[in-house]
Amino acid sequence: QVQLVESGGGLVQAGGSLRLSCAASGRTFSSYAMAWFRQAAGKEREFVAAISWSGGRTYYADSVKGRFTISRDNPKNTVYLQMNSLKPEDTAVYYCAAGPMWVGVSSSRNVYDYWGQGTQVTVSS
């Protein structure tokens, strides 16, 4: 019921910032829980951040807590990931994911039904 397209990735220096965007198509965007995952080359896809359908609850992986902020603008059908104080270990392809509203702020990959194509984030040392 929803298609997701990420944008905003790129090459930045350590300590820099990027804001990723995930544009969703579909009239029921506001009913979906949203999350960001990332996958470094040769590694498993890992959870980064999640936000509830209303935006009232957020949850972050310990590795990004205090540096990354997930937010959403339902009228614009967009979810964001503001990434500050970037580290080389943040280098990965970042994926946007959507799931039913009952998902809440889950970190489990298998509860999300829809995925974007990914956007590359590279942090140089």
- In tens, the pLDDT along 7-34 reads 999 999 999 999 999 999 876 677 899 9
- In tens, the pLDDT along 107-123 reads 999 999 999 999 999 99
pLDDT of residue 46: 98
pLDDT of residue 27: 65
pLDDT of residue 51: 97
- In tens, the pLDDT along 40-97 reads 999 999 999 999 988 999 999 999 999 999 999 988 889 999 999 999 999 999 999 9
End-to-end Cα, the chain, rounded Å: 40
d(CA 46, CA 75): 28
pLDDT of residue 114: 95
pLDDT of residue 75: 87
pLDDT of residue 10: 98
CB 50 within 8 A of CB 106: yes
> What's the Cα-to-Cα distance from 42 to each of 38, 39, 54, 93, 102, rounded to whole Å?
12, 8, 34, 11, 32
* Residue that wins the pLDDT comparison between 39 and 24: 39
